[in-house]
Chains A and B, each alone.
Chain A
Amino acid sequence: MHRRTVVQRGAWAVLLWPFLFTKCIPLDCQDCPSISQEKLLDRVIQHAELIYRVSEESCTLFEEMFVPFPLRLQRNQAGYACITKALPIPSSKSEIQQISDQWLLQSVLLLVQSWIEPLVYLQTTLDRYDDAPELLLNKTKWLSGKLLSLEQGVLVLITKVLNEGMVSTSYTEQAIFQYDMQLDMLESIIKDYTLFNCFKKDAHKIETFLKLLKCRQTDKYNCA
């Protein structure tokens, strides 16, 4: 599957190849070939939708495979809050309506960047389980690869939308992810389950934010 991931990454790199130019070429370049903002936004949204769908499937797979029945409904077990809880991200529509486009994009970027490491961790923990299905492993790997592509896309989008320079990635320092490998099996399962759920939620957030952004970009006055 490593090859497949490489292929997918390559495909996305091909799709987002103009981003390379934007990184290498000064931003005030007038004649650079570039993708239009709308198309870029569409592609980013498609990315986010796909990531959400796959994360939902992975979470369901994990739940069916490893999580005992009594624990299934309790998504947020004590002690295992979502890692992105601390991030300053709007969580209601009214809140979102009040923030600006830039902040919306920044929120998206924060979310994306904060999940890169945990996904890598998830891949390693899944290898520890004896009978982890191949499908689950593949999906997890695919997710971490796609997330990287999404990050790149959002970065370019920020540059385009906001006409700003590269956004610093200082926020990633705040995302503290606890690597705790001394957990027993049940705790590990619960932790991983929480991770899957949180990631699914955040993926949905990303997708929604981007769609709201799209409405704002196209039709500023009619968007709610």
Chain B
Amino acid sequence: MRVRAPRGLTFCVCLSMQCLGPPGKPTLTNCRSPEKETFTCWWKPGPDGGLPTTYALYYLKDNSETVYECPDYHTAGRNSCFFNKNETSVWVNYNITVVATNKMGRTFSDPVDVDVAYIVQPHTPENVTVNVMEDEGWPFLRVSWESPHKADIRSGWITLVYELRSKMEGEEEWEEHFPGQQKTFNIFSVRSGSSYLVQVRCRPDHGFWSEWSPTTKTKVPKFFLGRSLWILILVFSILVVLILAWIIYMNCHSLKHSILPPVPGPKIKGFDHQRLKNGSYKDGLGALMIPEYPPSSSSNDDDLLVEYLEVFVTGEQDISMEEGKEIQDHYCKSESSTCDSDSGHGSCDSHTLLIDKCKETSKDELNSNCEDASEIIELEISQNNQDEKTLSYDGRPDTCNGRVKTWPSVFTPLPQYTLSAIPQKSSLEIVKQHCLSDTLFPPGSMSSNLVNQNESFGPSYWEFSLNSKQLPQIHSQSSKHLQAYSDINISKKDNEITTLFKSTQYVEVKNVNNKDMVLLQPVESGSQSHAEGCPHVHQGKDYSKVKGVNSDKMLLLESGVNVMGQETATCFCDKSETNAMKESGYMSSANVWKHKHPPMQTVLPVQEEQKPFAANGYVDTATMFSVPM
């Protein structure tokens, strides 16, 4: 039943300055249910029109036509209607209207539809307590509360979710947390020594939030660092102290030096006090001395006849030191071996740095090695015994390692080869031997010295121990002399046998083996034919004179032989001495070999006894052969 109330104002009868009329229209403000079992509706009355007005609430349930009136106007206070449990139906639509009545008339409010299930707003949570607890030295807050006492959570009638907020005293913004349906919550980010404020509220799963609970205040006591933190700090500092101590201990010396630098003592560079004390500096000191020249061999019985001519063919100059350690070793060995007392080796001491290096090697060792070595090619210049001018090779240890040693001219020119007693003849030309050696032929430094081919010398041959590279190419076309020249500038040329060999030794190319070695053999036939000792020397063009070493480290030979003492050359064709020298020497052509040659093995069965020398042995050389260095 709806009654349209006339507007009160129109019927206002002004009596004594008061407007009287029907009441104004009330309005339902809200209806709330705290626990979904009861609910209350409040209205706001309109102007009462100056007359006492009564209000009544009527409702309809679920679109039925029955009108009910509010059962309880007082419980919930003024202008309210309270529905108790019996009258509350959930999931039922209430159509509520408030009517204001006074003497003048009635006024109805606008109807409102209410479903209790959707107007639930619980009370605030109760008994909110905050406790300060400790977790391994760190404080935290534990908040706990209870549901509003009327809400029936236990039976499941209502399901509540909670919300919590906290802030530090003095802060402006709250920090919100959602415990869900729990009733406890831990706040961990807590600073010790400050106060905290906490509030809780709740809400049904479909409904309105409750009011915030009254603020609970807690003070967090000041934790002066938890015990565990102290332990951690202690351990850490101990570690740091230990590390520092260890570092100082390790650098004790350097620290000492930097703080208290030691007093320097007198010292000569390169001078070893100990050795001086030990007296082993004889040789060393000897190295400092300029060797006498002519060598002491001149004081030998055979005066300037050097018994052995050792020709060393080494590798490249730059890598000479290392390469072929064997070369050096050979050098060393031969060097030391050359330093015999009785064969004019006095001059050997000062020779090259190579020699110096070799000083350390024990001579005995070398000698012993030498004696047994049979594969070592030796350059032996033996004098033809016929004329007693042969250089006899007596298997000196020096020659056992027989290398063609060539010494750069920069060094003191001394024959590096040991020569056996060579009958010295004044007529003997200076035999200069050019040993083909990379190391020993610095470009341009090669002094082409003529080697006396010396027929006067007996058949002599030398064996070359070739190691890689720089061996003059053997040109097997024409028999040419290969004359070893010692690159020694013999200033003194009295007898000039400072070196070597008196007679020209010739070898010819036998073949080239698989090791890139050119095998030479003494030209026996020729020599044999000239048994009387007339070597074919200087037949035609003879390119056996070393012109020099060019920049490519090529050994340049030139035609023409500056033969000295040609006339005195005698043919020493000692057949008997030609025995095993077939393979004696070999020279590898520079052209053929590349730099990276494997070191040539000298395949020379060196005979201890004699190294017969094919007087007519020719080493065919190319017209121009170069020794790659």
User: Which residues in A have some Cβ–Cβ distance to B below 8 Å?
Assistant: 49, 52, 56, 73-76, 78, 81, 85, 91-94, 201-202, 204-205, 208, 211-212, 214-215, 219, 222-224
Cβ–Cβ < 8 Å partners of A56 in chain B: 206
Interchain CA distance A161-B91 in the complex, whole Å: 26
Determine whether B375 belongs to the interface, using a CB cutoff of 8 Å to chain A.
no
Contact B63 A224 (CB under 8 A): no
Interchain CA distance A52-B204 in the complex, whole Å: 13
Interchain CA distance A212-B91 in the complex, whole Å: 16
CB 8 Å contact bits of B84-107 with A (1 = contact, 0 = none):
011011111100000000000000
Contact A214 to B156, CB < 8 A, known contacts A74-B113, A81-B63, A201-B117: yes
Interchain CA distance A208-B155 in the complex, whole Å: 10
User: Which residues in B have some Cβ–Cβ distance to A below 8 Å?
Assistant: 36-37, 62-63, 85-86, 88-93, 113, 115, 117, 152, 154-157, 159, 205-206
Contact A215 to B113, CB < 8 A, known contacts A92-B85, A93-B36: no
Closest chain A residue to B62, Cβ basis: A85
Cβ–Cβ < 8 Å partners of B152 in chain A: 93, 224
Interchain CA distance A202-B91 in the complex, whole Å: 8
Q: Which of B90, B154, B205 contacts A91 (CB 8 A)?
A: B90
Q: Which of B93, B157, B206 contacts A93 (CB 8 A)?
A: B157
Q: Could you list 19 examples of A-B contacts with CB < 8 Å?
A: A52-B206, A56-B206, A74-B113, A75-B93, A91-B90, A91-B92, A93-B152, A94-B86, A201-B91, A204-B91, A208-B157, A211-B155, A211-B156, A212-B156, A215-B155, A222-B154, A223-B154, A223-B156, A224-B155
Q: Which of B85, B93, B117 contacts A204 (CB 8 A)?
A: B117
Cβ–Cβ < 8 Å partners of A205 in chain B: 90-91
Contact A224 B113 (CB under 8 A): no
Q: Which among A85, A208, A222 has the highest number of chain B CB atoms within 10 Å?
A: A208
Q: Is the interface of A mostly helix, strand, loop or mixed?
A: helix
Contact A224 B86 (CB under 8 A): no
Contact A224 B117 (CB under 8 A): no
Q: Which of B36, B37, B62, B63 contacts A78 (CB 8 A)?
A: B63
Cβ–Cβ < 8 Å partners of B154 in chain A: 215, 219, 222-224
Contact B115 A75 (CB under 8 A): yes
Interchain CA distance A212-B63 in the complex, whole Å: 28
Starting from the known contacts A91-B90, A219-B154, 17 additional A-B residue pairs (CB-CB under 8 Å) come to A52-B206, A75-B115, A76-B93, A76-B113, A91-B89, A91-B92, A92-B88, A92-B89, A92-B90, A93-B85, A93-B88, A201-B91, A204-B117, A205-B90, A205-B91, A215-B155, A223-B155
Interchain CA distance A219-B159 in the complex, whole Å: 17
Closest chain B residue to A96, Cβ basis: B157
Q: How far is the CB of A76 from chain B (nearest CB, A)?
A: 5
Contact B155 A91 (CB under 8 A): no
Q: How far is the CB of A122 from chain B (nearest CB, A)?
A: 20
When A and B form their complex, which 5 residue pairs have the shortest distance between CB atoms, in order from nearest? A211-B156, A215-B155, A91-B89, A223-B155, A224-B155
Contact B206 A204 (CB under 8 A): yes
Tally inter-chain residue pairs, CB-CB below 8 A: 67
Contact B92 A208 (CB under 8 A): no
Contact A75 B37 (CB under 8 A): no
Contact B157 A224 (CB under 8 A): yes
Cβ–Cβ < 8 Å partners of A212 in chain B: 155-157
Q: Which of A73, A91, A219, A224 contacts B91 (CB 8 A)?
A: A91
Interchain CA distance A85-B154 in the complex, whole Å: 28
Contact A215 B62 (CB under 8 A): no
Interchain CA distance A224-B153 in the complex, whole Å: 10
Q: How far is the CB of B227 from chain A (nearest CB, A)?
A: 44
Cβ–Cβ < 8 Å partners of A74 in chain B: 113
Contact A94 B85 (CB under 8 A): yes
Cβ–Cβ < 8 Å partners of B37 in chain A: 92-93
Interchain CA distance A93-B154 in the complex, whole Å: 14
Interchain CA distance A81-B91 in the complex, whole Å: 12
Cβ–Cβ < 8 Å partners of B115 in chain A: 75, 201
Q: How far is the CB of A83 from chain B (nearest CB, A)?
A: 13
Contact B63 A76 (CB under 8 A): yes
Q: How far is the CB of A15 from chain B (nearest CB, A)?
A: 22
Interchain CA distance A214-B206 in the complex, whole Å: 20
Cβ–Cβ < 8 Å partners of A93 in chain B: 36-37, 85, 88, 90, 152, 157
Cβ–Cβ < 8 Å partners of B36 in chain A: 93
Cβ–Cβ < 8 Å partners of B113 in chain A: 73-76
Q: How far is the CB of B86 from chain A (nearest CB, A)?
A: 6
Cβ–Cβ < 8 Å partners of B88 in chain A: 92-93
Interchain CA distance A222-B62 in the complex, whole Å: 32
Cβ–Cβ < 8 Å partners of B117 in chain A: 201, 204
Interchain CA distance A223-B92 in the complex, whole Å: 24
Q: Which of B62, B89, B90, B157 contacts A81 (CB 8 A)?
A: B62
Q: Which among B63, B152, B155, B157 has the highest number of chain A CB atoms within 10 Å?
A: B155
Interchain CA distance A222-B205 in the complex, whole Å: 23
Interchain CA distance A91-B92 in the complex, whole Å: 7
Cβ–Cβ < 8 Å partners of B205 in chain A: 49
Q: How far is the CB of A33 from chain B (nearest CB, A)?
A: 29
Contact A215 to B91, CB < 8 A, known contacts A74-B113, A201-B117: no
Closest chain B residue to A97, Cβ basis: B155
Interchain CA distance A223-B154 in the complex, whole Å: 7
Cβ–Cβ < 8 Å partners of A73 in chain B: 113
Cβ–Cβ < 8 Å partners of A215 in chain B: 154-156
Closest chain B residue to A215, Cβ basis: B155
Interchain CA distance A91-B115 in the complex, whole Å: 11
Cβ–Cβ < 8 Å partners of B90 in chain A: 91-93, 205, 208
Interchain CA distance A49-B161 in the complex, whole Å: 14
Cβ–Cβ < 8 Å partners of B159 in chain A: 211
Q: How far is the CB of B64 from chain A (nearest CB, A)?
A: 10
Q: How far is the CB of B60 from chain A (nearest CB, A)?
A: 10
Interchain CA distance A204-B204 in the complex, whole Å: 12
Interchain CA distance A91-B89 in the complex, whole Å: 5
Q: Which among A73, A93, A201, A222 has the highest number of chain B CB atoms within 10 Å?
A: A93
Closest chain A residue to B95, Cβ basis: A76
Q: Which among A78, A92, A215, A219 has the highest number of chain B CB atoms within 10 Å?
A: A92
Cβ–Cβ < 8 Å partners of A201 in chain B: 91, 115, 117
Cβ–Cβ < 8 Å partners of B92 in chain A: 91
Cβ–Cβ < 8 Å partners of A204 in chain B: 91, 117, 206
Closest chain B residue to A224, Cβ basis: B155
